[in-house]
Amino acid sequence: MVSVKAIEARNITKIYKPSPVANKDICISVEKGEIFGFLGSNGAGKTTFIRQITTELLPTSGEIFVEGFNVVSEPEKVRPLIGVAPQEYGLYGHLTGREMLRFFAILKKVKIVKEMVNKSLQACDLQQYSNTRIERLSSGLRRRTLLALAIIGEPEILILDEPTVGLDPVSKRSIWEYLLSYKQAGKTIFLTTHDMYEADQLCDRLAIIHHGEIIAKGNPSTLKSFVRGKIKIVINQRVNLPVLEKFGEILRLKEDKTILIISQRDSIPNVVHILVNNDIIDFSINDTSLEEAFIHLTGEMFNA
C-alpha cells in the first residue's frame, strides 16, 4: 500500500501571463513528520509555489496533494490541515496579539480557544507583548506573531515562508527549538529560508529552486556532497587574481568577500603564497558548507 505524503506536487507549472514562468514542472514529495526546506534566491519562485499549496493560487498545470487531498478540487479539506506564516505581513494593526490569535482561533474553529491562544503566545515568546497593539510591535515581533497564528490549533502541517527573518539570534534559536519539538510530535513543516545554517540545522531534506525549476533535492549532506572533499579559502575582501583560477572555482560574495573552492589540499601552500605575496593576509581555510553547495549549483550568491 502506497503511503500518503504530507505534501506531493506533480509537475506543477505556474505562469503569470505575460510574465515569465514562475514555476516549471516542479515535482516534490514531503513525508509526514519531516522538516522540508525550500531554498532559492529572491524571485526564484518559492512564494508562488507556497501560495499554490495553501490554495491561494491555482496552478497553470499539474497537481498538488496535501494529506492526499487535491488543493484545487478539495480546498475545504486542505485548509484545516495547514497553518501558514506568510513572508508578507497580513496582520490587523489595531488588534493586540492576543485579540488577533483569538480571532484566528475562532475562524479555524479551534477547541479550547483560550488555552490554545496562551500556548501559541508562550511558544513564540510573546506573552509580555500579548496586549500590545500589533501596529506598535517591531518587525521581529510581528514575525513571531505570524508564526503564533500559524501554529494556533496545532495543525498537521506548517507552511512557513522565511519564518525567522528579522529575528535576533536568541529569538531565532527559540523558534528553532519549537519547530523541532513540533516535528517530534509527528507534525510536518515545509519552510523557505535564506539562512543556510538554519536549513542545515533544521531540515531533514531540501530542494533548491532556481529560475522556477528544481535543480537539486536531498538531505543537507547529499547537497553538500556536490562540493564535499573540497576546501574553501575565504578571503575577506574582493580579489581579482586570475592566477587563482587554475587552483579551483572562485565565488564572490557581495563586494567584501571572495571564496576559492579547491579540490586538492596540496594546492593550499601555493594559494597562500600567492595571497601573501599580494599583501592579502585576512583569510581563513575551512571545509565547504551548504552555502557553497548552493552557489556551486545555481552559479549565484544566495541573496537575503
Residue 60 within a domain: yes
CATH value at residue 252? 3.30.70
Q: Mark whether 178 and 257 lie in a shared domain.
A: no
CA distance 303 to 44: 11
CATH number at residue 62: 3.40.50.300
Take residue 135 and report the three cell numbers written for it.
501596529
**What was the pLDDT predicted at 68?**
96
| One domain, residues 18 and 157 | yes
Say if residue 134 is in the same domain as residue 36: yes
293 within a domain of the structure (yes/no): no
Q: Is residue 268 part of a domain?
A: yes
Residue 285 has pLDDT above 50, yes or no: yes
Whether the CB-CB separation of 34 and 28 falls below 8 Å is answered with no
Tell me: do 94 and 189 sit in the same domain.
yes
The number of CA neighbours under 13 Å toward the Cβ of 148 is 30
Is 303 inside any structural domain?
no
In a domain, 264, yes or no: yes
- One domain, residues 279 and 198: no
212 with 274, same domain?
Answer: no
> What pLDDT was estimated at residue 103?
94
Residue 181 lies in a domain: yes
With respect to residue 298, please indicate whether it lies within any of the assigned structural domains: no
Tens-digit pLDDT profile for residues 26-50: 999 999 999 999 998 888 899 999 9
**What pLDDT is attached to residue 302?**
45
Same domain for 77 and 188?
Answer: yes
Do 155 and 215 lie in one domain? The reply is yes
pLDDT band at 212 (very low <50, low <70, confident <90, very high): very high
pTM: 0.78
pLDDT tens-digit map of 122-149: 988 899 999 999 999 988 888 889 999 9
Q: Are residues 139 and 203 in the same domain?
A: yes
**Residue 193 and residue 282 in one domain:** no
Q: Among 173, 204, 224, identify where a domain stops.
A: 224
Q: Structural domain of residue 169, as residue ranges?
A: 7-224
| Total number of domains in the chain | 2
Q: Note whether residue 88 is domain-resident.
A: yes
In a shared domain, residues 190 and 125:
yes
Residues 136 and 27 in one domain: yes
